[in-house]
Amino acid sequence: MKKIIAGSLALTLVSQPIAAIPSSYTDPVWRPFLLLAGDGDPQRASDRLQRIKRLQTTMLNNTRYDTETQTFVDNLWRSLEKFDLNGFYSSLPDQKGRQRELNVRGLWQDDAYLYERVPAAELSAQAAILPLGYTEFKVGALRMESFTGPRRFALSGRARIGAGASSWQTIRQAGTEILNLASYVPYVSEAGAKPDELEKNRAAIRQHNSALGQKDVEFLLPLWTAFPHLAQLIASLATIDDVMVEESNTQGYSAYTASLSLDRARLAARYPELGTYLEKVGDLVKASVEIHDDNGRLARIEVDTQTSRIRIETVLSLGGVVPYGSDGRLLMDKVRKFADEPVNLSVVTRADVDVMGVRTHVSNLTAQMRYSPDANQLRLDTSINTVPDVTVDGAFLGVVSTGVIDAFIPGNIDSIITEFFTVACEGNLGKGITAAVAFNNTGEPGLINATVEGSVVALDNSFVQLGLRIFNTRMIPNDKASDEIQHLFFATQEAFYQDFDQFMASRSFDQATSLK
């Protein structure tokens, strides 16, 4: 019944009547999606997207778990909420010495999607091709006892997925096409479009996003026109505060300061449990992430849970990203494009976390990333092996200062959190925290295989566990809020497919009209 309600709610959000715009105006905006889904061919994209839609709908409405997997999933969420590493370790059913693991396979079977536990030997070989929608998961944990301090757990995970794209190169082509479009504003000619409809869309953009400047509106206009149902959905839940720097420049670049804020009142009206959840999260996290290449900063991303806002700063030119040098100047001769050569990146995070008045400040959390393409695979490897800087201040519940807390615990809060990061960043045989994503070509039309894997050594410290439990009670949504997040996903999916159907219909209409 909940699934039916979810579908009904989603459709009421996106089923408003929307006028069609000639496809010649929206073709450039849809081109990246056509490349990704159909190698640039609209009909091929339509056929593949219909199959992907059936898969997504099946997974959303009729996902089943065998008993052992369901038990593990239930235990996993309890362990995450409590940050109970030993409980997580004990929930893994297969044991070899101190190593425990679970192997799960996901199968698309007509109108149902089934997750089932399988022996490790039954997982596919790395070189085997997984069909669209098939998944394989391997989760492992090794308990390492210590005679001098808290025990540690070496955690690892790996997932393989059959995904819908012809090759990893088409994913890059789609990304390149987006960068090309965004490098030149305006990026769509209004020739052939209906002026009245475009003006109506301009007015709608201004109505829902009153802080936008003229340049912002003109950038959003083709997107709003190409994706009218998605635009309505976003406008019902959020406000776009900014898109671009309004001032013109003589160097031909486009500077973005994109900012989007959830409108909690609008969101709570449609998703009351999700609205309550966001109020509970409150001022929990304020973070910034900077992405650098060898030449300088490529982008900055800021997230603030108190304002429910995300902000992205970057500069684009010639279909690539322009870095800022160490002196703050744009390096127009160093435009970063992701082609066939490896690229080294670093991602530097700063975060302020407020847990019941005790504020933890983490800075210089640096991840090294390598983009490695070859003919058959794109691989992104990430590692964090440098301990960040940690400071703590504030007062628990606004009353008990951190200095008073330090008097009642071994060491102090700063050193305990630093020890946790030290074990994570310097453990794992010196590799620290590792993560990797790989996209492998299969040679089959509309199918690639993606692999995601990672590993870390975690310290089972009772004080850190207590802090993370409090953090998780605010960060992890309850069942009702989770259901509404699922509803929102369904609504977004439906809106996209309605927009694509309208795009295809407008192409058919334009072609029929041109033949008369």
Residue 407, pLDDT score: 77
Count of alpha carbons within 13 angstroms of residue 199, beta-carbon side: 3
Please tell me the predicted confidence (pLDDT) of residue 8. 38
User: How far is Cα 36 from Cα 175, in angstroms, rounded to an integer?
Assistant: 9
Predicted local distance difference test score (pLDDT) of residue 13: 41
Distance CA(362)–CA(346), nearest Å, equals 17
Average pLDDT, rounded, for the chain: 87
Output the six-digit token pair for 166.
């012809």
Beta bridge partners of 240: 260
Distance set, CA 501 to CA 34, 102, 118, 494 (Å): 13, 41, 39, 10
Per-residue model confidence (pLDDT) at position 191: 66
Which tokens in the block code for residue 377? 């695979």
Return phi, psi of residue 141, to 5°. Answer: -150, 140
DSSP 334: G
* Averaged pLDDT for residues 495-501: 94
Give the residue carrying structure tokens 């008369």.
516
Query: Is residue 296 pLDDT above 90, yes or no?
Result: yes
Residue 78 binned pLDDT confidence (cut-offs 50, 70, 90): confident
Task: Out of 318-332, 375-389, 396-410, pick the least confident.
Answer: 396-410
CA pair distance 207, 215, nearest whole angstrom: 15
Q: What is the rounded average pLDDT of the residues 187-192?
A: 68
DSSP string, 114-177: EEEE--GGGSPPTTSPPPTT-EEEEEEEEEE--SSS--EEEEEEEEEEEES-S-HHHHHHHHHH
pLDDT recorded at residue 212 = 95
Phi and psi torsions of 102, nearest 5°: -140, 135
> Which residues are bridge partners to 98 per DSSP?
none
Residue 62 has pLDDT above 50, yes or no: yes
| Mean pLDDT of all residues in 237-247 | 92
Is residue 440 pLDDT above 50, yes or no? yes
Rounded mean pLDDT of 305-332? 95
At 21 the pLDDT is 52
pLDDT value for 508: 60
For 21-30, 129-138, 229-238, 483-492, which range has the lowest pLDDT when averaged over its residues? 21-30
- Residues near 423 by Cβ (< 8 Å), separated by ≥ 6? 152, 457, 458, 459
Strand partners, 316: 254, 321
Label each residue of 62-85 as H, E or C.
CEEECHHHHHHHHHHHHHHHHCCH
Q: Give phi and psi for 507, each to the nearest 5.
A: -65, -45
Which amino acid is residue 187, in one-letter code?
Answer: Y
Residue 264 neighbours by CB distance under 10 Å:
17
Check pLDDT > 60 for residue 192: yes
List helix spans (H) across 329-448: 402-406, 413-426
What is 249-306 written as a DSSP string? -SS--EEEEEEEEE-HHHHHHH-HHHHHHHHHHTTSEEEEEEEE-SSSEEEEEEEETT
Q: Does residue 334 have a pLDDT over 50? A: yes
CA Rg value for the chain: 25
Q: Which amino acid is at 515?
A: L
Q: Ranked by mean pLDDT, which of 50-54, 300-304, 474-478, 481-485 comes out on top?
A: 300-304
Give the model's pLDDT for residue 516.
40
pLDDT tens, residue by residue, 25-43:
778 899 999 999 999 899 9
Q: Are 96 and 48 in contact (CB under 8 A)?
A: no
Which pLDDT value is given to residue 3?
A: 41
**Pick from 244, 313, 236, 259: nearest CA to 491:** 236
- Residues 104-142 have pLDDT tens digits of 999 998 889 999 998 877 776 666 889 999 999 999 999
479-515 helix and 42-61 helix, angle to the nearest 10 degrees? 160
The pLDDT, as a whole number, for residue 125 is: 67
The single-letter DSSP state of residue 323 is: P
CA distances to 4, 77, 137, 154, 262 from 140, rounded to whole Å, are 36, 16, 10, 8, 37
According to DSSP, the β-strands at 135-144 and 112-117 are unpaired
pLDDT at position 496 is 94
The C-alpha angle 70, 56, 22, rounded to 5 degrees, equals: 165
Instruction: Give the mean pLDDT of 342-347.
Output: 96
CA 409/CA 325 separation, integer angstroms: 44
pLDDT in tens, 267-284: 999 999 999 999 999 989
- Specify the pairing of strand 285-292 against strand 433-441: unpaired
Read off the amino acid at residue 260.
Answer: L
